[in-house]
């Protein structure tokens, strides 16, 4: 995966060395020699990853990172802190400044490129999700994310045939406050429920770790779990293959305790951030097609589905019927009992609609007390029978409006229209016919179903 990399270092030789390594791998490289230039370049060029040296005169890497993360325009760009310092505090300070990863000088090509590749994949997914959400509403910024949800202890499964190493890694994590389990005793957690990170040693003999990696990434419940690989120089090729299969990061042997804790933390935060983005996108999609009061489809989705079914009906002459419903005397319900009771009646009516249609029927609220059921593949006579069944279900049992209050007798009128290929693909024609039939039912005394010829 290629991308645009911003390299920030005050030493020219370091910048040129990184530029040569990255351009040899077909990355586009942008160079900056100090903090202020880095801030300008990040805003202007929108790089996919920033390699940021810590020790720079004037504005050091920590301050640059803080400013990048405070700016909504650059807050989502992954930052890798590059430092010659290996102490725990320098790494923690970088994470507190908002860095997404760190790498210690001198670094080898394998470590550098795996870090960049992992961050490029993460950035690509996060960017797509943010764009999808922004298309339906305001964009997400880090300040909008629940910090408590992001920083609660990680839930980690350690997979390692070496009992000694597995125990040591688990001890490291538990002492830091994380929750750990082995794959063997994790129970239903192996299905991905509640797991943030899978720590997977690549030198397994009893099973193929690459197969386990692939299985996790193919499973619906496990594909979001971050996979942290324990790797040595011998199995670097295997590590690259695992990264291609979807693994998130690597840690080289011998495993350093502080690096393990830092990498588990960053992977957990990435996993949870992506999950938050996914939930918000799903919620945005849901809100765009769902009526918030009744939970039925809204008019926007109704028109989209009806247009598709009408077009299909014109091509293959398959029937499509609709039944338009209107609650009789609904205004008097609001006037007499208030809008809260009126809303409750609408919700109860929606429930009775759902209970009396086929799974493939599309139940919608057009607005107010008007509802529509789209019935694919149903001719007019059967559609009238279905609408009559719904009418009877509404009239048969009074609607409750609260404890200690009298029940309400509610009735509904319905108009049915059908197309069996004789109309154009314009859904408005069918909707007008259903409205005309509904008007005729109202005019004839209400609480009845009527149909007009298509």
Structure confidence by residue, pLDDT tens digits, 403-420: 878 899 999 999 999 987
Q: In what order do the strands lie in the sheet with 362-367?
A: 362-367, 370-376, 320-327, 412-419, 449-451
Residues 345 and 399: beta-carbon distance below 8 Å: yes
Degrees to nearest 5, angle at CA 261 with 91 and 212? 130
* Averaged pLDDT for residues 249-272: 86
Residue 89 confidence (pLDDT):
65
369 counts as catalytic:
yes
- Annotated catalytic residue within 23, 89, 369, 388: 369
pLDDT at 192 over 60: no
pLDDT at 424 over 80: no
For 273-379, strand residue ranges (E) read: 320-327, 362-367, 370-376
Residue 138 confidence (pLDDT):
44
Residues 415 and 384: beta-carbon distance below 8 Å: no
The region of weakest confidence among 298-307, 310-319, 408-417 is 310-319
pLDDT at 51 over 60: yes
pLDDT at 321 over 90: yes
Using the structure block, give the residue that is written with the tokens 């009238």. Answer: 384
pLDDT at 37 over 70: yes
Pairwise pLDDT comparison (271 vs 129), residue with the higher score: 271
Say how far apart CA 337 and CA 53 lie, in whole Å. Answer: 68
pTM confidence score: 0.58
Structure confidence by residue, pLDDT tens digits, 14-28: 999 999 999 998 999
pLDDT grade, residue 142 (50/70/90)?
very low
Structure confidence by residue, pLDDT tens digits, 198-214: 999 999 888 899 999 99
**By percentage, how much of the chain surpasses pLDDT 70?**
88
* Averaged pLDDT for residues 316-328: 91
* Averaged pLDDT for residues 163-179: 91
pLDDT at 81 over 60: yes
Query: Is 187 exposed, middle or buried, given 0-12, 13-18 or 19+ CB atoms closer than 10 A?
Result: exposed
* Averaged pLDDT for residues 79-91: 73
Over the range 151-180, which residues count as b (16 or more CB within 10 Å of their CB) and which as e? Answer: eebbbbbbbbeeeebbebbbebbeeeebbb
What residues pair up with 372 in beta bridges, in sequence order? 324, 364
| Peptide bond before residue 235 is cis, with ω within 30 degrees of 0 | no
pLDDT at 423 over 70: no
Say how far apart CA 196 and CA 181 lie, in whole Å. Answer: 12
Over the range 354-374, which residues count as b (16 or more CB within 10 Å of their CB) and which as e? Answer: eebbeeebbbbbbeebbbbbb
**By percentage, how much of the chain surpasses pLDDT 90?**
48
Q: What is the chain's mean pLDDT, rounded?
A: 86
Domains defined for the chain, CATH in brackets? 1-138 (3.40.50.2300), 145-283 (3.40.50.2300), 299-451 (3.30.70.270)
């Amino acid at each position: 995966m290629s991308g645009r990399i911003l390299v920030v270092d005050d030493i020219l030789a370091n910048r040129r060395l990184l530029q040569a390594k990255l351009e040899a791998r077909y990355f586009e490289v942008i160079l900056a020699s100090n903090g202020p230039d880095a801030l300008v370049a990040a805003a202007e060029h929108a790089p996919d990853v920033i390699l940021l040296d810590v020790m720079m005169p004037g504005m050091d890497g920590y301050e640059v990172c803080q400013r990048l993360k405070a700016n909504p325009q650059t807050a989502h760009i992954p930052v890798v802190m590059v430092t010659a310092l290996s102490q725990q505090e320098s790494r923690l300070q970088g994470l507190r400044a908002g860095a997404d990863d760190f790498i210690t000088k001198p670094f080898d090509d394998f470590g550098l490129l795996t870090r960049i590749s992992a961050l490029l994949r993460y950035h690509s997914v996060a960017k797509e999700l943010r764009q999808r959400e922004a298309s339906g509403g305001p964009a997400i910024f880090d300040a909008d994310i629940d910090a408590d949800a992001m920083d609660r202890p990680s839930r980690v499964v350690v997979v390692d045939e070496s009992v000694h190493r597995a125990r040591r890694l688990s001890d490291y994590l538990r002492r830091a406050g994380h929750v750990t389990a082995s794959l063997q005793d994790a129970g239903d957690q192996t299905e991905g429920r509640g797991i943030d990170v899978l720590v997977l040693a690549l030198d397994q003999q009893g099973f193929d770790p690459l197969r386990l990696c692939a299985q996790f990434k193919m499973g619906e419940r496990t594909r979001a779990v971050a996979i942290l690989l324990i790797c040595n120089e011998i199995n670097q090729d295997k590590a690259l293959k695992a990264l291609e299969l979807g693994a998130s990061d690597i840690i080289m042997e011998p495993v350093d305790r502080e690096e393990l804790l830092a990498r588990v933390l960053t992977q957990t935060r990435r996993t949870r951030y992506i999950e938050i983005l996914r939930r918000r996108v799903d919620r945005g999609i849901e809100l765009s097609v769902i009526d918030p009061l009744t939970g039925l489809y809204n008019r926007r989705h109704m028109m989209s589905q009806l247009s598709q079914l009408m077009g299909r009906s014109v091509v293959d002459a398959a029937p499509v019927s609709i039944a338009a419903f209107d609650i009789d005397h609904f205004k008097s319900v609001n006037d007499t009992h208030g809008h809260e009771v009126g809303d409750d009646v609408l919700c109860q009516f929606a429930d009775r609609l759902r209970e009396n249609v086929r799974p493939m029927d599309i139940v919608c609220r057009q607005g107010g007390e008007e509802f529509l059921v789209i019935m694919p593949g149903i001719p007019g006579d059967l559609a009238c029978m279905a609408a009559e069944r719904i009418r009877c279900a509404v009239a048969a049992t009074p609607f409750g409006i609260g404890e200690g209050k009298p029940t309400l007798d509610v009735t509904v009128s319905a108009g049915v229209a059908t197309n069996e290929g004789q109309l154009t693909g314009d859904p408005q024609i069918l909707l007008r016919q259903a409205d005309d039939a509904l008007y005729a039912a109202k005019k004839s005394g209400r609480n009845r179903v009527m149909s007009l010829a298509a």
